[in-house]
Structure 1
Amino acid sequence: MKLLHVDASAKRATSNSRALARQFIALLQQGLPDLEVDYLDLTVDVPSHVTEEFARAIYTPKDLRTVEMHDLLADSDRMATQLLAADLVVFAMPMYNWSMPSVFKAYIDNIIRAGLTYISDEQGIIHGQLDKQRILFLSTRGADLGPESRYAGMDALTPALQAAFKFIGARHMHFVNAEPLEFAQPQAREAGLAKAKLELAELAQTWLRTIADTDFAPSLEHAI
Structure 2
Amino acid sequence: MKLLHVDASPKSANSGSRALSRFFVDQLRAGLPALSVDYLDLAQEILPPITGLFASATYTPADQRTAEMREALAVSDALCARLLAADALLLAMPMHNWTMPAAFKTFVDTIVRSGLTYIATDDGRFVGTLGGKKVLFLTTRGVDLRPGSPFAAMDALTPALRAAFGFIGVAAPIFVDAQPMQFANEVERAAAVRRAKEDLAALAETWGDIEQQPALSKAG
Alpha-carbon distance between aligned partners in 2 of 1:97 and 1:214, rounded to the nearest angstrom: 43
- 1:143–1:179 CA contact under 8 A, matched in 2: yes
Alpha-carbon distance between aligned partners in 1 of 2:20 and 2:214, rounded to the nearest angstrom: 27
Where 1:70 maps in the other structure, the secondary structure is helix
Runs of at least 5 residues in structure 2 that lack an aligned partner in the other structure: none
TM-aligned CA deviation for residue 95 of structure 1: 0.2
The yes-or-no answer on 1:162 pairing with 2:162 is: yes
Alpha-carbon spacing, 1:11–1:39, altered in 2? closer, same or farther (3 Å) = same
Runs of at least 5 residues in structure 1 that lack an aligned partner in the other structure: 217-224
TM-aligned CA deviation for residue 214 of structure 1: 4.6
Normalised by the length of structure 1, the TM-score is 0.93
Aligned counterpart, 2:205: 205
The amino acid of 1:186's aligned partner reads E
Alpha-carbon distance between aligned partners in 1 of 2:214 and 2:181, rounded to the nearest angstrom: 37
The amino acid of 1:200's aligned partner reads L
The amino acid of 2:39's aligned partner reads Y
The yes-or-no answer on 1:121 pairing with 2:99 is: no
Larger displacement relative to structure 2 (207-216 or 141-150): 207-216
The amino acid of 1:80's aligned partner reads C
Normalised by the length of structure 2, the TM-score is 0.95
**Equivalent runs, 1:23-172 vs 2, <5 Å:** 23-172=23-172
Question: Deviations 1:44-67 (Å, cap 9, x if unpaired)?
Answer: 112222221111111111110000
The amino acid of 2:113's aligned partner reads R
- 1:89–1:134 CA contact under 8 A, matched in 2: yes
The yes-or-no answer on 1:4 pairing with 2:1 is: no
The amino acid of 2:97's aligned partner reads N
Structure 1: which 4+ aligned runs deviate by more than 6 Å?
none
Aligned counterpart, 2:183: 183
Aligned counterpart, 2:21: 21
The amino acid of 2:78's aligned partner reads R
TM-aligned CA deviation for residue 215 of structure 1: 5.5
Alpha-carbon distance between aligned partners in 2 of 1:152 and 1:88, rounded to the nearest angstrom: 29
Where 1:37 maps in the other structure, the secondary structure is strand
Larger displacement relative to structure 2 (23-32 or 40-49): 40-49
TM-aligned CA deviation for residue 171 of structure 1: 2.6
- 1:100–1:157 CA contact under 8 A, matched in 2: yes
Alpha-carbon distance between aligned partners in 1 of 2:61 and 2:37, rounded to the nearest angstrom: 33
Question: Deviations 1:167-190 (Å, cap 9, x if unpaired)?
Answer: 001134100000001110110010
Q: How many residue pairs get matched?
A: 216
Where 1:73 maps in the other structure, the secondary structure is helix
- 1:130–1:169 CA contact under 8 A, matched in 2: yes
Where 1:176 maps in the other structure, the secondary structure is strand
The yes-or-no answer on 1:194 pairing with 2:194 is: yes
